[in-house]
């Protein structure tokens, strides 16, 4: 971080610059750091857990930019628009697909990045009344392919039981949301085909900050609405995983900086507050216990959230009270450890050794260690072989997520280049480790959270609605964490405006047909 006032002032100016597109009045004001305060180091990622006015190339002084030649070398190809059709059970859909990018400029008209999108608009619909929904995943560093090809888009890749060598065959998606809303999938910088065109290291760093990222996505949403003459359409925002941090901040920026008023925010398997996911917070154990119990019970048969009412009650009451008493109270600790062993099926000796306080990694390994298996993090009902079953260290990955990487990447590239006829050079980044490692989650004692923006957006617009969907077996972002947060909201954010739904499945609960279809009905009801 900066060690001089001049350097820190330049970094502060970049905050405003990033929120700019083709017009100088696109600048989004941001608070500047105090010149008398030494900026703390960037925190590592918390644990818990992608010259045409329409493209934004006609900004002021753009032709005079010193970086024009460099930008042109890195630019994405012109947008591709194609006519498509789908034959689905009981209906057919004719729609226009567009694959392309929106260029983001600073306030001097110098290009910063090309942010890729894929949109699907139903033919013959009234733009004034037809909803349009903007979707992004999380990571940070994840492209939107998970939502597009696993859940919402016109074509779907089967996630259920996938292996790395599976053929990346896309099929018509009978559960697409295109029946009731147009769809725009956004890949933040560094994900998918989105890329930097600037050589400024400071400008690049700002895209990988919590606020800089949200501002850039909000700006792209506004520019897309302008490009396709959709400013009067009903608008919705959907975010998955880290999208729970990004989503509320994007909506707040749209309301306050971009002049756009979304009608609804839909969050899928979100993280809303990193403060409770790591460190010494005892709430991390409260949030994850119902999910761990759900994993144990599903091993014996089908489980729904209703089946976990006793665990949720225990987590809120006696479990929390015994956690607060701490290990200084031996009786409370033994009582807690034995109860956790009973609920999760983990050996009582192990539970007592850990004082009933299982972090995610420990649970994943201990749940079926006798058979040399580990559970998934995204979906703990999925088990895989531990490559180092005798190691004293955790040296395993995620059997519920890793097998999807190869087929999903290939499917995304194949559809974009072959069916949508958009052929960028360079690699497609489904899940970028470089972006994730470079991410600035915040400074000091204030880890990233979006509950503040949730409260602000709901208070500002009494018609705005919030829908949150979770999977029962998701250890990356346990559903009970969202339940705890929603229960703290003021009365103005009551059940008539905010709703939590929980389905069998994991982080990508939509990989299960029943869960995907049930959630689709909830979304359609929200938009109708």
pLDDT tens, residue by residue, 376-419? 899 999 888 878 777 766 777 887 788 889 999 999 999 999 99
How far, rounded to the nearest angstrom, does the alpha carbon of residue 427 sit from its chain's CA centroid? 21
C-alpha–C-alpha distance, residues 458 and 446, integer Å: 22
Residue 278: the pLDDT is: 63
Element (H, E) at 364: helix 360-366
C-alpha–C-alpha distance, residues 194 and 103, integer Å: 10
pLDDT tens, residue by residue, 183-239? 999 999 999 999 999 989 998 999 999 999 999 999 999 999 999 999 999 999 999
Residue 47's contacts (CB-CB under 8 Å, 6 or more residues apart) are: 277, 278, 360
Question: Which CATH superfamily, name and number, covers 71-275+405-527?
Answer: Alpha/Beta hydrolase fold, catalytic domain (3.40.50.1820)
How many residues belong to the chain? 528
Residue 144: count of CB within 10 angstroms of its CB: 32
Burial class (CB in 10 A: 0-12, 13-18, 19+), 497: middle
Specify the pairing of strand 91-105 against strand 111-122.
Answer: antiparallel
Q: Are 266 and 238 in contact (CB under 8 A)?
A: yes
Q: What is the largest CA-CA distance in the chain?
A: 73
Q: Where are the chain's structural domains?
A: 71-275+405-527, 282-401
C-alpha–C-alpha distance, residues 298 and 352, integer Å: 24
Sign of the C-alpha dihedral, residues 189, 192, 196, 201? positive
Q: pTM of this prediction?
A: 0.86
Token code pair at residue 464: 């705005």
> DSSP H helical segments within 52-113, as ranges?
68-74
pLDDT tens, residue by residue, 340-385? 999 999 999 999 999 999 998 899 888 888 888 889 899 999 888 8
C-alpha–C-alpha distance, residues 323 and 319, integer Å: 6
Terminal-residue alpha carbon distance, the chain = 48
Cα atoms in the Cβ-side hemisphere of radius 13 Å centred on 293: 26
C-alpha–C-alpha distance, residues 31 and 408, integer Å: 39
C-alpha–C-alpha distance, residues 429 and 142, integer Å: 8
Residue 146: the pLDDT is: 96
C-alpha–C-alpha distance, residues 89 and 420, integer Å: 23
Per-residue pLDDT of the chain (528 residues; tens, 9 = 90+): 444 434 443 443 333 333 333 333 343 333 333 333 333 333 344 444 433 333 333 343 434 344 555 556 668 999 999 999 999 999 999 999 999 999 999 888 899 999 999 999 999 999 999 999 999 999 999 999 999 999 999 999 988 767 788 788 899 999 999 999 999 999 999 999 999 999 899 989 999 999 999 999 999 999 999 999 999 999 999 999 999 999 999 999 999 999 999 999 999 999 999 887 666 789 999 999 999 999 999 999 999 999 999 999 999 999 999 999 999 999 999 999 999 999 999 999 999 999 999 998 899 888 888 888 889 899 999 888 878 777 766 777 887 788 889 999 999 999 999 999 999 999 999 999 999 999 998 866 678 999 999 999 999 999 999 999 999 999 999 999 999 999 999 999 988 999 999 999 999 999 999 999 999 999 999 998
SS3 21: coil
Cα separation values, 157 from 75, 172, 388, 408, 428, Å: 29, 9, 31, 7, 17
């Amino acid at each position: 971080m900066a060690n001089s006032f001049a350097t820190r002032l330049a970094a502060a100016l970049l905050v405003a610059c990033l929120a700019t597109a083709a017009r100088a009045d696109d600048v989004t004001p941001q608070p500047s750091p105090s010149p008398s305060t030494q900026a703390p180091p960037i925190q590592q990622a918390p644990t818990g857990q992608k010259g045409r006015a329409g493209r934004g190339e006609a900004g002021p002084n753009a032709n005079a930019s010193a970086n024009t030649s460099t930008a042109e070398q890195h630019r994405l190809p012109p947008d591709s628009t194609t006519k498509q059709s789908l034959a689905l059970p009981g209906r057919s859909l004719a729609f226009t697909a567009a694959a392309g990018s929106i260029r983001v400029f600073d306030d001097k008209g110098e290009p910063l990045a090309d942010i890729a999108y894929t949109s699907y608009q139903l033919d013959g619909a009234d733009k004034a009344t037809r909803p349009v929904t903007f979707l992004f995943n999380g990571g940070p560093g994840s492209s939107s392919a998970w939502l597009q090809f696993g859940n919402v888009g016109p074509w779907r890749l089967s996630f259920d039981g996938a292996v790395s060598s599976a053929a990346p065959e896309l099929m018509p998606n009978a559960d697409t949301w295109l029946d009731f809303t147009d769809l725009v999938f956004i890949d933040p910088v560094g994900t998918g085909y989105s890329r930097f065109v600037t050589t400024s290291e400071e400008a690049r760093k700002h895209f990988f900050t919590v606020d800089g990222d949200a501002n850039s996505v909000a700006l792209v949403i506004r520019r897309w609405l302008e490009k396709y003459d959709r400013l009067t359409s009903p608008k919705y925002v959907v975010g998955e995983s880290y999208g729970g941090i990004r989503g509320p901040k994007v909506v707040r920026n749209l309301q306050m900086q971009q002049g756009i008023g979304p009608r609804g925010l839909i969050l899928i398997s979100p993280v809303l507050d990193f403060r409770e996911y790591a460190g010494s917070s005892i709430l991390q154990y409260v949030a994850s216990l119902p999910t761990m119990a759900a994993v144990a019970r599903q091993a014996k048969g089908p489980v729904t959230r209703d089946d976990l009412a006793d665990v949720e009650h225990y987590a809120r009451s006696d479990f929390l009270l015994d956690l607060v008493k701490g290990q200084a109270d031996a009786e409370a600790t033994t009582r807690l450890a034995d109860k956790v062993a009973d609920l999760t099926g983990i050996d009582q000796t192990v539970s007592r050794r850990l004082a009933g306080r299982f972090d995610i990694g420990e649970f994943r390994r201990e749940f079926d260690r006798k058979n040399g298996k580990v559970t998934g993090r995204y979906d703990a009902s999925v088990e895989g072989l531990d490559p180092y079953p005798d190691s004293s260290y955790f040296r395993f990955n995620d059997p519920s997520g890793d097998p999807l990487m190869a087929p999903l990447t290939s499917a995304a590239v194949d559809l974009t280049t072959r069916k949508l006829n958009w052929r960028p050079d360079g690699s497609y980044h489904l899940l970028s480790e470089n972006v994730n490692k470079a991410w600035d989650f915040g400074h000091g004692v204030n880890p990233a959270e979006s509950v503040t923006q949730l409260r602000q957006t709901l208070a500002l617009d009494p018609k705005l609605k919030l829908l949150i969907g979770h999977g029962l077996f998701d250890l990356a972002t346990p559903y009970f964490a969202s339940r705890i947060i929603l229960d703290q909201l003021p009365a103005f954010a009551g059940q008539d405006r905010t709703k939590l739904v929980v389905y069998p499945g994991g982080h990508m609960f939509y990989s299960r047909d029943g869960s995907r279809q049930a959630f689709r009905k909830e979304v359609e009801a929200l938009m109708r």
